[in-house]
Amino acid sequence: MMRHGACRLSAAAGVRQRIGVPQLKSLSTVAIGVQRKALDVADTQTAFKGYSTVELLRGAAVLTACSQPWLVRQSEALLVLSDKLLGQRTTDQLLRHTVFDHFVAGEDGQAIAPTLQSLREQGVGGILDYAAEADLASGGGGSTVNQPARSYPFINQEQCDANLQIFLSAVDAVHETTPEGFAAIKVTALGDPALLERTSTAIVQLRTFFESLDSSGSGVLSRDAFLCGWREAFDMSDDETSAMFQRIDADMDGDVDIIEFTNALPLQDIGPLVQRCRSQGPLYHSALSPDECVALERMLDRLDQIAARAKALGVRLMVDAEHTYFQPAIDHAVLRLSRTHNVEYPCVFGTYQAYLVECNDKLRLDLARAQRESWHLGAKLVRGAYMFHERERAKEHGYPDPIQPTIEATHASYDQAVDNLLVNCATPALVSVMIASHNQNSIERVASLLLSEAGDDSSRVPRDRVYFGQLLGMSDHLTFTLANAGLKAYKYVPYGPVREVLPYLIRRAQENADALSGAAQQRNMMLVEVRRRVIGR
């Protein structure tokens, strides 16, 4: 039996990885000598100048409804009831002129143009999102309980090719309507979600194997530790084992870290490798088959086509985070795209979810990888939107909860990630960040630093590397105030047919308490602006 059980060791989703990269500095090193400047978010005239008075009244009514927790919880059941009592056509018309018109730009590329034009006139960019997402449990039908976004069921490869065309059209629409804009994509629309889960398992098991060799927990394997562990895991000669170490030790410094280890062992090589395992365990069983490798390459090729189109048109691509059991495969895809398309500028942005326990470990690893390999890291930082689903699944499958234990811990994780990214923005490191949040404290914290006047320009965070993003129809007092202050502000703009987008919005509302916590504040500000327009004060 192997000493560390490398081929038998199992890994729980969300387990924290020990990585052999240095800890990053605190944001305080950037802010030394900085006179902070506050962001004025109470100016209703600035926040709502793009709204007509009728739109303000409609928005106040919609946000009043969104502020009612019971209504949000029962929204799907009420939608079904309305269909029965009023009919789907009437229900759709009611929703189109209320919730849909407030939160959604339109049904297709032509319909969204006026919204994007209005945003651009106010200095706000667009992040176009064709509102679709996949999950294994739903399969395109059945109950939607705990499913935080509309399913994009896998039908066949031809359907994935059709989805590819949708995303290419979104890239074209961004190019035509919102300069320096983003197109958001979801990897689950471009391949079989079951394959993504299998790929994620293979990636996690490979990392777990590295940890099993790293008995000291240092995050770095010496040559002796590697040779000893490798021989115990695989039926290989001493010469073969030495040759493997030389292959993995890319910088030839006599030891191996997790970046070198995973770079040297691509997923398609794991299958042949594990055939020489001394015992068959999780690593052995996680290896992708030749057919799965072909299907994975096909999915990655679709992603590469979208990224290539985006780069050619000067559009940025934002790869959304999804469920934790898909995320390692999604991160693998983002890494591959970044190496190809982020050499000159950050064309591709990956997403980091601060409510995940592993968020900052993963962020440090990717920062180190980007710096070592000389490509731009594009990072979209969110708190997260799948909490209830992830916790229920962890309980059901018996693995540790991947979510931070409290909202305070999530806030601390988010602040730490912001600090790590902004410190690197302020250095020669090639880092750009999207602060995707509705949390006013987070927004003001970053904005005050960017708007401050520092005596030492070398310590300032470049404004052109920091973006802010909020959902269309939410937190306008933040978005438009940021834009008015000269910062890079964006609206996340969902679009698509009513029946496809509304379930997405409903489930997002059920999970995204951070956004809805500001709904009452925005509603009150809208009413203040209506009063100002009507009676002049």
Alpha-carbon span 134 to 187, nearest angstrom = 9
Which pLDDT score, from 0 to 100, does residue 418 have?
Answer: 94
The residue assigned the tokens 């705990």 is 146
Bridging pattern class, strands 453-454 and 34-35 = antiparallel
Residue 325 CA from chain centroid, whole number: 14
- φ/ψ bin of 140: left (φ > 0), alpha (ψ from -120 to 50), beta (otherwise): left
Which pLDDT score, from 0 to 100, does residue 537 have?
Answer: 59
Q: What percent of the chain has pLDDT over 70?
A: 85
Which pLDDT score, from 0 to 100, does residue 308 have?
Answer: 97
pLDDT beneath 70, residues of the chain: 1-38, 132-155, 453-459, 507-518, 537
Alpha-carbon span 440 to 475, nearest angstrom = 9
Which pLDDT score, from 0 to 100, does residue 11 have?
Answer: 35
Q: What is the per-residue DSSP string for 241-257?
A: HHHHHHHH-TT-SSEEE
Alpha-carbon span 22 to 32, nearest angstrom = 22
Summarize pLDDT for 128-141 with one digit per residue, the tens. Answer: 988 754 443 444 33
CA angle, residues 192, 197, 200, in degrees to nearest 5? 125
Which pLDDT score, from 0 to 100, does residue 311 have?
Answer: 96
Which pLDDT score, from 0 to 100, does residue 498 have?
Answer: 83
Which pLDDT score, from 0 to 100, does residue 65 have?
Answer: 84
Which pLDDT score, from 0 to 100, does residue 119 have?
Answer: 92
Token pair for residue 262? 């995973």
Dihedral angle of Cα 47, 49, 55, 60, to the nearest 10 degrees: 20
Question: Domain spans of the chain?
Answer: 30-200+289-535, 202-286
Fold of the 30-200+289-535 domain: TIM Barrel (3.20.20)
Which pLDDT score, from 0 to 100, does residue 19 have?
Answer: 44
Alpha-carbon span 151 to 76, nearest angstrom = 15
Token pair for residue 345? 């500028």
Which pLDDT score, from 0 to 100, does residue 453 have?
Answer: 59
What pTM does this model have? Answer: 0.87
Does CATH number 1.10.238.10 belong to domain 202-286?
yes
